[in-house]
Structure formats: C-alpha cells, structure tokens
Amino acid sequence: MTVGHGFDSLPATVLGRLGRLEIELPSWGFADTGTRFGKFLQDAAALSIEDKFDDAAEVHRLTGACPRVAVHVLWDLPAGGATELAALARARGLRVGSINPNVFQDQCYKHGSVANEDASVRRRAIAHLLESVELGRACGSDTLALWFADGTNYPGQGSVARRKRWFADALREVHAAMPASMQMLVEYKPFEPAFYHTDIADWGMAYVLAKAAGERARVLVDTGHHLPGQNIEHIVSFLADEGMLGGFHFNDRHYADDDLTVGSIDPARVFRIFVAIAEAERALGRDLPVEFMIDQSHNLKPKIEAMLQTVTTVQELFAKALLVDLDALDAARAANDIVAAEECLKRAFATDVREALAAWREGRGLPREPLAAHRASGYAARAAEARLPRKKASGGSYA
C-alpha cells in the first residue's frame, strides 16, 4: 500500500463497510439560512419540502450514500401531513429519516420548553414531542432526534435540579409513547442560546437523561457541540462501549457551533472519531447500530455543493480510519510502544484514498467525482430558474 499517494484499490472489507454507510441529510441544510445578524439568500436554495427532497435526491444520485432525509416538524410538514411527507420522499427514491421536533421557536418557549417554570408550557412542549412520535410512526421514521434550547442566562434564574427532574419526566413520558421500532436520540450542547447554564450541556447529562427515559434512548453526538479542546473521540469510545452511542450530527467547527463542512477545519479529529468507531465495531463484531447524520446550515457555500463535500469527506476519512492496522496498534499498545502506536494512525491518515474511492464509485455506477458531476449537470441553474420567481413573489430581500 502506497502511503501519501493515490492507489487504485482498497481492501474488500473497507469497501464493504463504506457500501453499508448511510449518511442522513438535513432538510434544513438546503434552505436559505443565516445568523441572528442577517441572512444571505441563494437563488437555488430550497423554499419548500418538495425542493428540499429534490436537492437531497440530487446528493443521493451522485453519491449513492444518502437515502434518508431528516425533517424538522414545524418547517417541513406539508398540508397532507405524514402521508404526503412520506410519499414526497418515496417519489424521489428517498425515505424520511429522523424526526426533529421544534420546542424552541415559538414565543411561549422564551423561558424554556420542558423545563419551563410554567406547567402549561411544559405540557405544550410534551404534547408536541408526542405529536412528533406519531408523525414518525405514520411516515415510517424510526428515530426521534431531540435537541433543546432550554437553559438560563443568569445565576439564580432557575433551579437546575428541578429542571433536571422535569426533563427526566418529559423524556420518560415520550419514550413510553414510542413504537417498539423507534429510538430516541438525546443531543447536548454546552451553550447557545443559553449562556449561563444549558439543561443538557454535555454527554454525561445526555447519558443520564437517556438512561432515565428508557431502553431505546441513546446519546446523539454533534461534533460542533463541544467546548474548545474537548476530546470527542474519547466521548465516542466511552459511549460506544456503554452501548449508549446513538448517532452523530456531523459538521466542523473552529470556535463553537460553526456548522462548517466536515473536515474543513480539522480533518484529523474526524479521522480519530472514525478510528474510535472502527475499534468499537471490531469489539462488537458488527457495524455499530448508530445513525450517521449531517447537521450543517451553510450561509455562503452553495447548499448542494457543501453537502457533496461533506459526504465525500466522510467517506474518505472513514476509509482512512478503516485502514488502521488494529492488530499492529494493539501489539504496540501491549508493548507500551507509544511511537509505534501513533505511527499506525499516522500511516493510515496519510494515505490518499481519493483515487480508490473514485474507482469504487465508478464501479457502482456513480460519478467518479460527485462535486464535478453536479457542477457539470446544470442542476443549480435549473433550480434557480424554477425557484427564483417564487422567491421574488414571496417578498423580502428578493422583492
């Protein structure tokens, strides 16, 4: 195997694992988005759930790896409800992925959702979570992905212990309502929009609340939701060994939750996360039952191009991780040969797998270079031509 240069084949075990890798796309990643300071609109960005599914289908057509689309309940549900939602996905060769409730947008959630001091607001939030379970049941989704903005901005604003109990009670009730085929993923975030304390601030809190919820609740690791310097692969290994790793929201970050394309800032960190996954899968003797999901919202990059960059980068970094000689790594560890152990990782990370993956895609009837194929297809121009009149008709910055 040539290190640091392209080569034309990868081991069958590596290609087999990559062939089983499904990466869920986020519906919201195809729409116009922004920051609290402003929004920069793109002519080809999606307006409707139909547009979002069209764009997701383009990514899947080019990569063959993205058959599922995560939906946000308040942003994506068509007039026909779950039946229409599932039909729209199915018509494009896709299926509905994780259901993402929204208990942070409405004005009543100004001071929290399931941890709100007002019992009627807590009840409203739980009712929405239960409705989301029923939506998932009706459209064939097997994953309820939960992220909460609940927290406080000032000392003394809330009772942390009481809020914890409210959270545990709410998640337990929602878990009890889920069908046997559905899992609950509990996400965490250290800050934003709450800046003094966030109710589910780290993986340990998510772990405790998932355990309290029930046997089909796991922890969701968003790679952008960590404080600077956090060892994410440590968290991944720990949760996987506990059987509590439920899935990932993949993105990259430099400062905080930056929603950047995977590997654009620190590809080595993503590689190390995948090494942790490869080790866990070897110990388990099969693929980890976890969801690989993208959670990115690009303000400047073209939406589909950013998704294609992320999907192909995930494949490249996972392939590199699968090239780590785990037997040699364990032998070095047993001998306390720190240098040899590190070299096992460095050799795999330095291997250029791009040509091998291009050949692999070609062998599966896919474009060798998905991004180049998308640019050559004219899809973005056609989408902009079809969508821009609707955007202008809706007013706003396009008026």
**Is the separation of the CB atoms in 154 and 111 below 8 Å?**
no
Average pLDDT over residues 81-109: 97
Average pLDDT over residues 283-294: 97
- What pLDDT score does 398 carry? 55
Give the domains, in start order, of the chain with CATH numbers. 22-391 (3.20.20.150)
- What pLDDT score does 6 carry? 45
Give SS3 for 71.
strand
User: If we measure between CA atoms, which residue out of 78, 123, 70, 80 comes closest to residue 101?
Assistant: 70
What share of the chain has pLDDT > 70, as a percent? 97
Angle between helices 232-242 and 203-213 (to 10 degrees): 20
Peptide bond into 302 cis (omega under 30): no
- The 10 Å CB-count burial string (b at 16+, else e) for 17-44 is bbeeeebbbbbbbbbbbeeeeeeeebeb
Average of per-residue pLDDT values in the chain: 95
Per-residue pLDDT at 191 exceeds 90: yes
Per-residue pLDDT at 4 exceeds 50: no
Which of 1-10, 41-50, 180-189, 286-295 shows the lowest per-residue confidence on average (mean pLDDT)? 1-10
**Is the separation of the CB atoms in 222 and 249 below 8 Å?**
yes
* Structure confidence by residue, pLDDT tens digits, 17-76: 999 999 999 999 999 987 777 788 899 999 999 999 999 999 999 999 999 999 999 899
Which of 38-42, 247-251, 314-318, 394-398 shows the lowest per-residue confidence on average (mean pLDDT)? 394-398
* Structure confidence by residue, pLDDT tens digits, 125-147: 999 999 999 999 999 999 999 99
Per-residue pLDDT at 186 exceeds 70: yes
Spatial distance between the Cα atoms of 87 and 222, rounded to a whole number of angstroms: 29
- What pLDDT score does 218 carry? 98
Spatial distance between the Cα atoms of 349 and 218, rounded to a whole number of angstroms: 29
